[in-house]
Structure 1
Amino acid sequence: MKDSTRAVLGITLAAALLIAAALWLGRDSDGSGRTVVRMRIWDQSFVAAYRASLDEFERANPDIEVRITLVPWASYAQKLRLDVAGGIADDLFWTSLYEDYADSGHLVDIGQALGPEAARAWDRFAVEQFTRNGTLWAVPQFIDGGSAVFYNRDLLAAAGIDPAELNAARWSPDEAADTFRPLLHRLRPVAPWPYNAANDFQSITLPYLGSAGGSFQRDGQFAFSSPQGQQAFGYTVRLVADGLSPSAADTNTSGDFAKNAFLQGRMPLFQSGSFNLATIHENAGFGWGLAMIPAGPHGRISANNSIGVAGNAASEHPDAVRRVLAWLGSAAGNRYLGVDGVTIPAVTSEQQVYRDYWARLGVDASPFFEVLRDGQIAAGGGPGFPAALEAIDPILDEMFLGRIPVPRALDRAQQAATEAADQR
């Protein structure tokens, strides 16, 4: 055989092997005739619950295998954008800020796929979050519930404060009506910082803004630079300036500073969400409990963020994707997320499962639910929203450091958010 013939045959064989490998890697089946559906999430702590749920699904649907892809939160958003644009995203993926994908036609229409009645089983706030222009774009998976105040029983006792006082506390720009700041002053002798006011979007910013009667967005436009916004931010910035909360030099650079201070017994009151409940239960070396957040001029208003699973409109096996979405949105499929107290299921009939789990451990989780009775403040969204939040953060950081007066900082932040969103 001539050398040239060997070369041609070698190239042909190599090409055939490459084609075969490509077909194998991109196959819709695992070789057993089953369709492989891939679902992308960002939190390792959910893998076990999802695996148990999906194992039950696969037993009832032996023609489908669902594989979980874990992409760390730090790189999740950027990688998802690149993969969706490149046409290589997973068949299903977690999302909270979905609008850009919906507007560009990359998501499955949930109402069309599962029928208009499916949404009745899900938390109404979650359904509202994932509905855009009358179309539902994700199957809600879990909610955070509202914010609550974790408290250290020992430090409260040392300050002579009954936990019931926390549930009656009110914050107000009117010092004569404000009972929360005086309560924090009573705690100063027992800990370096009584409370965790900071540039914390979900746990501090939104509850204070909402309970002042303000909104983060209104009619699709940023609206936090308002008289209500000045009241809310002015109050929390002053708590930092007065030493009733840690310095922004610490909290701006570490999102875990306040949580760690609470766990170390250096902060008696820590306002946060259900996403920190398991960590505190596992790591607090002291007696603790949960109380309501302080009420504001318009009552107790909190955010209730949700995570949903979206279907990739470019999936090569849409029927399998539809069946998995239907399972993840069902009571039987969704309850696994609450059985071990991982999170609050978005299927309302299964939320008691979560509460029962924590009740067995002696934890009353009701403040996360009761705080929503007065209403909820929307976290916001829309095209370019992630870029807007990135533009806002450094300005608010400077405000909490005391370097920019509150009114000027809010005006500057709102303008920066609008410009960032417009340039998406």
Structure 2
Amino acid sequence: MKSSTRVVLGSVLVTVLLVAAAMWLGRDGDGSGRAIVWLRLWDQSFVAPYRASLDEFQRANQDIEVRITLVPFASYPQKLRLDVAGGTADDIFWINLYQDYANAGRLLDIDAELGPQAKRAWDRVAVEQFTHNGVLWGVPQFVDGGSAVFYNRNLLDAAHIDPKELGALRWSPDDRVDTFRPLLRQLATAAPWAYNAANDIQSITLPYLGSAGGQFQRAGRFDFDSAAGRLAFEYLVRLVDTEQLSPSAADTNGNGDFARNAFLQGKLALFQSGSFNLAQIAAGAAFPWGTAMIPAGPAGRVSANNAIAVAGNAATRHPAEVRRVLAWLGSAEGNRYLAADGATIPAVTSEQRVYRDYWSRRGVDVSPFFDVLDGPQISTGGGPRLPVALTAIDPVFDEMFLGRIPVDEALHRASADAQHAIER
């Protein structure tokens, strides 16, 4: 080999090693002796409160620096799955559907890391959501609370409806009992759309299924293909496809923001959703509005209550430091930052008052999000490959809300497709 060739190859090798070293230091340290811990989120609006919380943590823990990675939700689940499998995931990351990671040994055991007493400070439903096979796999960060109904006061006035009427509404397939659909017809005289019935699992389909007396899963198997399921979905599809009291499924399928935007534009009288939309409505509504309880069904008033947690990567290079960061994020001091601007309901129960006080000072009644949870609750369930199953259900439900597949056929097909997705 010519000496000039050796020089070129040597230079290339040195360059490669320097780049690799720089990347290694960027992920594992910065030469200051501090351990760098990476936290992955999917929502830009949470970067600032997390940064403020972590800055306080770092002032008391100067041997650790926590850096935030933002991955948009549209690509978050797939990228996390690939990164965890490839060993390149962040040290700590947001989770909602997590059982596959837990079963594969990819997550830190929170009970073992922080002690079983830590969970006493956290929202009970959130702890239950992230407990699998008797082990807690995430540190709850925030809860959505229950579903509520946002109303446009101007449109209610135009339809001669008192907001106090909303809290007593009942939906039923029996026209002699149903008070909800008649009110929606009255609202339709004043607004392009009265209500946002749609394929929205957390805010619409789960509450209706639960208030019809049904469940999404039972004993590890999908159970929405039932008499209660047919009752709930036939009522919803009728609102959309037959009576056109809600936006077309052609607009809402695949666009989870359509109904909220229609409400903000003054085109939708009643918007059933969760507290996660409260800040956007408060900032964007140019009309008087308020909140009310969701309508009750044949089995009463039932809501979902989702939570988000942070999980520790079992493959982290800094387990001791990750443990300290997780303990901080699960503490009252670290968690309250998420409620400081009214963005979300903290999972540390002692700090939920911060959220309620914030909105109370602004004249917003958030009690419907909390009061609905005094009754029964419904969830999507859990188990291995649940995300794959939900992906199988969604297109069938989309077609059902478009009126292209009868409700009984759609429920049977979606249930079979979901079960097959889990078992294959």
Task: Give TM-score, length-normalised by structure 1.
Answer: 0.97
The Cα of 1:358 is off from its aligned counterpart by: 0.9
The Cα of 1:297 is off from its aligned counterpart by: 1.6
**Which residues of 2 match residues 11-410 of structure 1 at below 5 A?**
11-27=9-25, 28-240=28-240, 241-410=242-411
What's 1:5 paired with?
3
The Cα of 1:253 is off from its aligned counterpart by: 4.1
Query: In structure 2, what is the Cα distance between the partners aligned to 1:378 and 1:260?
Result: 26
Deviation per residue, 1:5-41 (Å, 9 max, x gap): 3433443453244234323322322111100000000
Deviation per residue, 1:85-128 (Å, 9 max, x gap): 11000000001011111111110000000000011111111111
Query: In structure 2, what is the Cα distance between the partners aligned to 1:121 and 1:298?
Result: 32
Deviation per residue, 1:326-355 (Å, 9 max, x gap): 000000000000011111100010011011
Query: In structure 1, what is the Cα distance between the partners aligned to 2:14 and 2:376?
Result: 62
Query: In structure 1, what is the Cα distance between the partners aligned to 2:248 and 2:9?
Result: 66
The more displaced of 64-73 and 393-402 is 393-402
- Gaps (5+ residues) in structure 2? none
Query: In structure 2, what is the Cα distance between the partners aligned to 1:21 and 1:195?
Result: 56
Give the 3-state SS of the residue equivalent to 2:69 in structure 1.
strand
The more displaced of 320-329 and 356-365 is 356-365
Alignment root-mean-square deviation, CA: 1.2
Query: In structure 1, what is the Cα distance between the partners aligned to 2:199 and 2:225?
Result: 15
Give the 3-state SS of the residue equivalent to 2:189 in structure 1.
helix
Query: In structure 2, what is the Cα distance between the partners aligned to 1:173 and 1:256?
Result: 28
Query: In structure 1, what is the Cα distance between the partners aligned to 2:38 and 2:160?
Result: 54
Query: In structure 2, what is the Cα distance between the partners aligned to 1:255 and 1:42?
Result: 16
User: Which residue type is aligned with residue 257 of structure 2?
Assistant: D
Query: In structure 2, what is the Cα distance between the partners aligned to 1:20 and 1:187?
Result: 67
Query: In structure 1, what is the Cα distance between the partners aligned to 2:90 and 2:331?
Result: 21
- Gaps (5+ residues) in structure 1? none
Query: In structure 2, what is the Cα distance between the partners aligned to 1:112 and 1:52?
Result: 28
User: Which residue type is aligned with residue 229 of structure 1?
Assistant: G
The more displaced of 212-221 and 147-156 is 212-221
Give the 3-state SS of the residue equivalent to 1:40 in structure 2.
strand
Query: In structure 1, what is the Cα distance between the partners aligned to 2:156 and 2:207?
Result: 23
Identity %: 68
Q: How many residues align?
A: 421
Query: In structure 1, what is the Cα distance between the partners aligned to 2:398 and 2:8?
Result: 62
Give the 3-state SS of the residue equivalent to 2:75 in structure 1.
helix
Query: In structure 1, what is the Cα distance between the partners aligned to 2:154 and 2:11?
Result: 74
User: Which residue type is aligned with residue 21 of structure 2?
Assistant: L
